[in-house]
Structure 1
């Protein structure tokens, strides 16, 4: 795998130091994810869905945590007593996993559901009114409170 040197960008862009850190974190997390397949869908500018293939996991074996602009999903298999057997072919490998996503500003988790071996996590960006663009009327005085 090739590494990318971001230091020239850090010299040109002020305030974007966190971006290079996020890219490095994403690369590290992708290596730890144990190849759990997932999709990220966008329904409009502010609604998203993460779909993860978690077949073999029960609800109690999955943990979803949202903290400080990060969403972490972990799957931990609870061992059960197995019947003595010998595999003729073993194509299913259900193993513990951890997958993290960095969330943008004002993105919150709305819900999480499991259906047919798929975990659906719905997210929405709620931009506060004071951060939304607003039209300024020409020729009208704007009162500014101090």
Structure 2
């Protein structure tokens, strides 16, 4: 059973959040198959983050990282060679192709990616430009009116 709810109360007190509704819809959408491979999203400081993907059995050539329009896409597999002459009695190590997508917040930059011991680590850093940081706005005492620009 799916329930729809109104986002109108959230938009009454916000300006310029055109993608806000899309973010909620994406978070609420239950996509089957999105649990492979397992991953962690870690916060290492006020502006430092890391995504760690369990990529056991994959090599650097098997993985691809791409950022487009604020979405980080991690894909892997599909190029795997089949071991000839091997009969698996049990094959528990998944070698199937995958694709993970992460919507990055504004001003997030990818610093580095590393594959070690079967874990793909992607370091992210929030770099907020000076013009986007909070600034104090002075209030006039009523003696002069602010100039409106058109």
Q: Does 1:10 align with 2:8?
A: yes
More helix by share: 1
The DSSP-based 3-state class of the residue aligned with 1:33 is: coil
Q: Would you say 1:101 and 2:102 are equivalent positions?
A: yes
Preserved CA contact (<8 Å) 2:77 2:95? no
Q: How many residue pairs were aligned?
A: 139
Higher relative contact order (CA 8 A, sep 6+): 1
Q: CA deviation at 1:130?
A: 1.4
Gaps of 5+ in 1: none
The TM-score, its normalising length taken from structure 2, stands at 0.77
Q: Match of 1:124?
A: 125
Structure 1 CA distance, aligned partners of 2:114 and 2:125? Answer: 15
Compared CA separation, residues 37 and 90, structure 1 to 2 (3 A): same
1:133 deviates by: 2.3
TM-score by length of 1: 0.79
- State the distance in 1 between where 2:67 and 2:78 align: 21
Structure 2 regions of 5+ residues with no counterpart? 141-146
